[in-house]
Amino acid sequence: MSETLNRQNLMTEGGFRKKILFFAGPIFIGQLFQQLYNTADSLIVGQFLGKEALAAVSSTGSLTYLLIGFFMGFSTGAGIVIARWIGAEDEQRASKAVHTAVAMGLMFSVILSVAGVLFCPVFLKWMGSPEDVLPLSSLYLRVYFGGSTGLIMYNTFVGILQASGDSKHPLIYLIISSITNVILDIFFIGVLKFGVEGAAIATVISQFLSMFLVLARLRKTEGATKIELRKISLDPGNFKQIVRYGLPTALQACVIDLSNILIQSYINSFGKLAMAGIGAYSKVEGFAFLPTNAFSMAMSTYVSQNMGAKKYDRVKAGIRFGILSAISMVALIGLTIYLFAPVFIAAFNSDPEVVAYGVARARICAPFYFLLSFSHVTSAIMRGVGKPLAPMIVMLVCWCAVRVAVLMTVGQTYHFIDLTSWLYPITWSMSTIVYLFYLRNIRYDS
C-alpha cells in the first residue's frame, strides 16, 4: 500500500475495540451537534412562530427522509466499495471509486433539487397535510430541496473520508456547521422576522458550508481519497459495485420512509396538535439514533475494510463488540427519554394537548429503542460482509409491509393514534428476530 494512505486510520490493524470506539466516538459527537441544531430549528420555530409553523416544519420530516434517504443509500454503497479497496490495499481502484461516487452525487443533486421544488406540494397533498398547514410546509420544502446539493455532496464527501477510517475531520466540520445553523436560525427568524423559510435558509447555508469544508480537506489530502476535478467520472466497474451495494440500501431507506409517510398521513388526520406533538417527539427520538448511526457507520467501515483484507476472525470479534456497545448506549437513552418525556416535549410547545400527544408516543416507543439499534447496526454489518439484499428484504417485510397492512386493516376500522406508536416496537421486534437468525448462520468467507 502506498504510504500516502494514513495507516493510523486503517481499521485492519491494532486493537479492534479501540478502533471501533475511536471511529464511532467522533461520529456520535458530530451527530449530537447535528441533532441539536435540528432540534434548535424546531425549538425556535415552535417558540417564535407558533404551533402551526411547528406542525408545518415537523410534518415534512418523513418526506425529506424519503427523498434524501434514497440518494444517500448510494453514498453508503460507495463507502463500502471504497473501504473494501482500501482494506485490500488497492489504491488505484479506491481512487476510481472515490471519483465515481462524486460523479453520482452530482447527478443525484440535480435530480433531487428539481423534483423536490416542483413536486413537493403534490407530495404533501398525498400525505393529507391539513389546508391550514400546507402553504407553510410547501414553502419550507421548496427552499430546503432547492439547496439539497449541499446536503447530498456533504454526505458523499464524508462517506469518502469515513471509508478511509477518518471520522475526526467530519466531526470538526459538523460542529462548525451546527453552530452556524443555530446562529442563522436566530438571525433569520428572531431578528429578521422571516417565517418557516428562515429555518430552511439557515439549514441550506450551513449544509453548503460543511460541504465546502469537507471538499477542501479531500482536495488537500494525498492518496486514494484525494479528489481531483479532472478525474470525476463514472468508472464502469466501480459504478456497478456501488449500485450493487447502494441500490438495496437506497430501496431499504425508501420503503421504510414510505411506510413512515403513510403513518404521518394517519397522524395528520388527528389535526395540527397531534402533528406538532408527535413532530416534537420525533426530534427527541432523534437522540436515540445517535449511537445507532455512529456504530452503524463504524461497523460498516470496519467490516468492509477487514473483509477486503480477508481478516475474518477480526470481523467476527468486532461485530460482537459493536452490537453490544450500540444497544447498551441506546437503552440508556431510551430510559432517559421515557422518564423525562414531558419536559422534553414541553420545550418545543407548552400546549397541554401537544405535550400529551408527544409523551404518549415516547412512553410507548422509548423502552424498545435497543431493538431499533440492533436492527440498524446488524443491517450495516450485513452490507459490510457483502450481503446488501438481506437487510433490504428484512426491512421491506418487517418495517414496511407489516406497518402498511396494519394501517390498512386495523387502522381503518379503529381510529386511534396510539396504533401508530405501537407499530414501531412491534416491527422492531420482528426484524430483530430475523437478524438474530442471520447472524448465527452468516458465512464471512463466501
Distant-in-sequence, close-in-space partners of 100: CB < 8 Å, separation ≥ 6: 78, 233, 234, 235, 238, 239, 242
> Tell me: the pLDDT tens digits for 60-89?
666 676 667 777 788 888 888 998 888 888
Q: Which of 52-66, 117-131, 159-173 has the lowest mean pLDDT?
A: 52-66
What integer pLDDT is reported at residue 356 of this predicted model?
Answer: 93
pLDDT-derived band at 337, boundaries 50, 70, 90: very high
Q: What is the dihedral of CA 403, 404, 405, 411, to 10 degrees?
A: 90
pLDDT in tens, 138-166: 888 888 888 889 989 998 998 898 888 88
Predicted local distance difference test score (pLDDT) of residue 1: 42
CA angle 40, 35, 126 (to 5 degrees): 85
Q: How confident is the model at residue 340 (pLDDT cuts 50, 70, 90)?
A: very high
| Predicted local distance difference test score (pLDDT) of residue 126 | 74
Residues of the chain with pLDDT > 90: what percent?
A: 29
pLDDT reported for residue 56: 65
Q: What is the pLDDT of residue 446?
A: 56
Straight-line distance from the first to the last Cα atom of the chain, in angstroms, rounded to the nearest whole number: 25
pLDDT at 41: 67
The top-scoring range by mean pLDDT among 2-11, 242-251, 364-373 is 364-373
The reply to whether 5 falls in a domain is: no
- Arithmetic mean of pLDDT over the chain: 85
Interatomic CA distance for residues 410 and 432, integer angstroms = 23
**Structure confidence at residue 179 (pLDDT):** 86
pLDDT given for residue 334 in this prediction: 94
pLDDT over threshold 80, residue 305: yes
Examine the pLDDT at 294 and tell me if it is beyond 80: yes
Residue 1 lies in a domain: no
User: What is the model's pLDDT at position 2?
Assistant: 44
Other CB atoms within a 10 A radius of the CB of residue 366 amount to 23
Q: Span 291-312, mean pLDDT?
A: 90
3-state helix, strand, coil in the chain (%, to 5): 85, 0, 15
Amino acid at 140: Y
- According to the model, what pLDDT value does residue 3 have? 44
Burial 2-41 (b: 16+ CB within 10 A, else e): eeebeeebbbbeeebeebbbbbbebbbbbbbbbbbbbbbb
Give yes or no for residue 346 having a pLDDT over 60.
Answer: yes
Distance (Å, rounded) from C-alpha 236 to C-alpha 197? 41
pLDDT score, position 118: 85
Q: How confident is the model at residue 9 (pLDDT cuts 50, 70, 90)?
A: low
- Residues 29 and 175: their CA atoms lie apart, in Å, by 9
**What DSSP string runs through 198-221?**
HHHHHHHHHHHHHHHHHHHHHHH-
Strands (E) across 15-158 are located at none
| Residue 178 and residue 120 in contact, taking contact as beta carbons nearer than 8 Å | no
9-15-20-22 Cα dihedral, nearest 10 degrees: -60
Domain assignment present for 129? yes
Q: With contact defined as beta carbons under 8 Å apart, do 38 and 221 qualify? A: no
Q: Is residue 3 in a domain?
A: no
Residue 102 — very low, low, confident or very high, per pLDDT cuts 50/70/90? Answer: very high
Confidence of residue 299 (pLDDT cuts 50, 70, 90): very high
Question: Domain for residue 446, yes or no?
Answer: no
Residue 275 has pLDDT above 90, yes or no: no
Task: Dig out the grid coordinates for 124 from the structure.
Answer: 404533501
Exposure pattern of 85-117 as b/e (b: 16+ CB <10 Å)? Answer: bbbbebbebbbbbbbbbbbbbeebbeebbeebb
Q: How far apart are CA 421 and CA 65, in angstroms?
A: 19
**Is residue 48's pLDDT more than 70?**
no
| Domains of the chain: total | 1
For residue range 192-221, list pLDDT tens digits in order.
Answer: 888 778 888 888 899 899 999 999 999 988
- Asked, for residue 217, whether it belongs to a domain, the answer is yes
DSSP string across 98-137: HHHHHHHHHHHHHHHHHHHHHHHHHHHHHTT--TTTHHHH
**pLDDT tens digits for 399-428?**
888 988 998 898 888 888 889 899 999 999
Residue 8 lies in a domain: no
**Whose CA is closest to 152, among 111, 182, 197?**
111
Cell of 446: 463466501
pLDDT of residue 367: 95
Written as nine digits, the cell of 129 is 397535510
Which residue range is the domain that position 150 belongs to?
14-441
Q: What is the pLDDT of residue 431?
A: 94
Which pLDDT does position 399 carry in this prediction? Answer: 86
Rounded Cα–Cα distance for residues 97 and 223 (Å)? 13
**Whether the predicted pLDDT of 4 surpasses 50:** no
Q: Return the C-alpha cell found at 160.
A: 469518502
